[in-house]
Each structure stands twice: as structure tokens, then as C-alpha cells.
Amino acid sequence: MLSLDSHPSGRHFLQIPGPSPVPDRILRALSLPTIDHRGPEFAVLGKTVIAGLQQVFQTRHPVAIYPASGTGAWEAALVNVLSPGDAVLMVETGHFATLWQKMALRLGLAPEFLSRPGTCAQTGLPLAWRHGVDAEAIGQRLREDREHRLKAVCVVHNETSTGVTSDIAAVRRAIDDAGHPALLMVDTISGLASAEYKHDAWGVDVAVSGSQKGLMLPPGISFNALSPKALAASRDAKLPKAFWAWDEIVEMNRGGYWPYTPSTNLLYGLHEALEMILAQGLDVIFARHQRWASAVRGAVAAWGLPLQCADPAVFSPVLTGVVTPAGVDADALRQSIHQRFDLSLGTGLGRVKGRMFRIGHLGDSNDLTLLATLAGVEMGLKLAGIPLAASGVQAAMDHFSAHPAPTSTTT
């Protein structure tokens, strides 16, 4: 256990790509007294957070809120619209895409896992984990599927294990151009409220998201945004569903209530988060993350290290994956940075374990906390004996100085 005197001074730097740092305003909102979830006050809270989430997802259709981590909302997405043995097309972009595919297998679905073959000559890492979703390859596969056996296309919007943000509108076009009726399901657990996401305009049928990434909340609640086509599919789908079933939730949500006890205090936090996000404006928030990401990539370039994402068209605004030189254990590096500087960086997951680390630039951050984060990384790299081409911190300072932060027009 932590003893009092082991508590480090100052704030811990939680620079993993979720859970992200939670603003004090939200922490205070979480500590309000818990109320009756069947009482009149609750209905106001329930209706307000659902309406706010619809604005953030950019949808006019229902959004379900689950008292569960993002993994629960993944399961909800699959079990509501699919039947045992259904074929689904999933795309290997990294660890989270792989976990969703494994879940589909466990649920008795028949996922096809589309993957970019080969490994990168420079880093030895799988190419599939350095690129985004290949919409053309999806279109091609769907055109081959003349009997329409594939019931859904499932893709990860912001692949948090690598730092790649795929083009979801292109996937929608590929499905439409192939004239295929498959549902489009999108994991935007780490994309929502940090990277642009347009549920209705992009024609997404089921979106999955969670609280602890761009929404700046602690972990514990997660979401499904639906389309009328997904709701219709859920009426005929045969996988067993009870807790996750949309019908009762959507019905009771009309009055601001849930079929069971919702996470009252996390909903207070969500209310506060939505007020902050909507007052600032989504465009300002997206521009802010893009600017942070540019500065962090500038730092990595100055150090002379490769980015995990090999395609500039799909660089993530939310996090940056950094590949360590051959022979340098990225987890040992992370541990030493944590021990010396009280800074948490994201670990390499699955097929890239030990070969890369991730810098989160989301949640309650600003230019100076990011500069401090980069300083911690730079010191750690030097202590590990890694030769650096130049100072990444200096490069990021130059970037921030040259590019003023985007400001909201509403304040």
C-alpha cells in the first residue's frame, strides 16, 4: 500500500491515451450527493446528458449509456444487431481491433479479419499496425460477397494502440459503392470528443464509445450511438441479449430514466463534461488536439525516432505512438520515466509490445503540461543512452510559439 510519505509532490502526469486527466470541475461534480434514480430531478439529468451526447456524436438518433467500460459497449453493439454464426468483416489496425475480433469469436460470430500483409523493413513491425483501415480493400471484399453473407463491417476509428485515425467516411462510401447492405459499426472509444466524428453524416449504424478518453471522465460508463437501420436490425437479431438490449433502454430513456440503476455520479460528471465541451465547441476541441499532436510529432521527429503511424494522412490527434530503437525495451524505458519523473506513458500492446510507447495528448492538458511530458520523455531517452538528433522539447516549444491555440468564437 501507499504510505503517506511515498506520495510524490505535485500532480502525477497521466499521459496514457486513456484514462485521461480529469478536470477539477468534473471531479467536483462527481462528488455531489447521489440522488433517487427514479425521482423527478433524475429525469432532468438523464434527458440532458442524452441530448448533449447526441450533439457530441452529431446524431439525431438514440444514444444508449451503459454502466460499463468500453468493452461492454462493444458487446452491446454486436449482440443487439447480429445472430449466431453471422459473418462480419473486421479490420486489423492494432490491439483494440484485435480484441473486438476476439470478442466476436467468443460470441459465436464468424469474423473475417482483413489485414494488410507484411512487416515494415525499417522497424520490423507489422504493417497492419502502422496504417489505417483500407476502404478499397473493404469495398473489394464486399463486392465479392454477392450473397450478402457479411452482416456488418466493424472498424476502429481511433486505434489507441498505435495512434492511427481511420477515414470512416471512406469506409461508408466503399460500402455504398459496393451496393452492400452490411451495417457499419465503429469503435470511437478514444476518438469521440477529440477527433472529428460525425455519426449521421458518415452513415454509421452503431458507434461504440467510452467515458475515460476524450470525454475526460473516469472509466465506468460507455455508449452506443444508433441508426434507424441498426434499431430495425436489433428487432430481428438472435444473439441472446438482456442487459445490453437497446429496446428497454431507449424506451425508458425517453422519460430520462433507465431500466436499472444508472451510474448516477458518473452522469453528473458527464453533465459537466458536456457543458465544457459544448461551450468550447467541437471544432475548437478538434483543432486543439490536432495542434497538440503536431507539436508531439515535431518532438519525435527532432529526437530522430520513428512514429508508429507510417501514413501522415491518418496521424491521430489523440495520441502518438513512438517506436524505440532496436534493442531498447520500450517498457523498461517507460518504467524508468515513471520512477524518475512520476510520468505515466502508454505501453506497447499486443504485437508491438516492448517496441513502442504511446504519448497521450487528450483530456485535461495544455501546452505546458505537454511540454513537461515531452521533457520527461526526453530525459528518459537520454538516461537510457539513446542518441537523440536534437531536442524534442525545443521543437515543441517552437511549434507552440509559432501556432497560437485555437479559440472558441462563443466565449
Binding residues for ligand PLP (CB under 6 A): 18, 69-71, 96, 156, 160, 187, 189-190, 210, 213, 219
Q: CB nearer to ligand PLP: give 19 or 256.
A: 19
Minimum CB–partner distance for residue 210 and ligand PLP (Å) = 4
Paired strand residues for 186: 155, 207
Q: CB nearer to ligand PLP: give 189 or 216.
A: 189
Minimum CB–partner distance for residue 98 and ligand PLP (Å) = 10
Q: How far is CA 285 from the centre of its chain?
A: 15
Q: CB nearer to ligand PLP: give 93 or 227.
A: 93
- Please identify the residue of the shown chain whose CB is closest to the bound ligand PLP: 70
DSSP conformation class of 214: T
Q: CB nearer to ligand PLP: give 97 or 226.
A: 97
Minimum CB–partner distance for residue 213 and ligand PLP (Å) = 6
Minimum CB–partner distance for residue 193 and ligand PLP (Å) = 13
**368 contact partners, CB below 8 Å, separation of at least 6:** none
Minimum CB–partner distance for residue 219 and ligand PLP (Å) = 6
Instruction: Answer for the pair 322, 358: CB distance below 8 angstroms, yes or no.
Output: yes
Q: Which of 347, 343, 333 is nearest to 376 (CA)?
A: 343
Minimum CB–partner distance for residue 26 and ligand PLP (Å) = 17
Instruction: Answer for the pair 314, 164: CB distance below 8 angstroms, yes or no.
Output: yes
Class of residue 253 by CB neighbours under 10 A (exposed 0-12, middle 13-18, buried 19+): buried
Q: CB nearer to ligand PLP: give 96 or 268.
A: 96
* DSSP assignment of 136-174: HHHHHHHHH-TT--EEEEEEESEETTTTEE--HHHHHHH
Q: Quote the CA–CA distance of 46 and 38 in Å, as a whole number.
A: 11
Largest distance between two CA atoms of the chain? 67
Q: CB nearer to ligand PLP: give 96 or 400.
A: 96
Pull the grid cell for residue 147: 450473397
Minimum CB–partner distance for residue 279 and ligand PLP (Å) = 25
Q: CB nearer to ligand PLP: give 219 or 325.
A: 219
- Number of CB atoms found within 10 A of residue 281's CB: 16
Q: Quote the CA–CA distance of 104 and 85 in Å, as a whole number.
A: 10
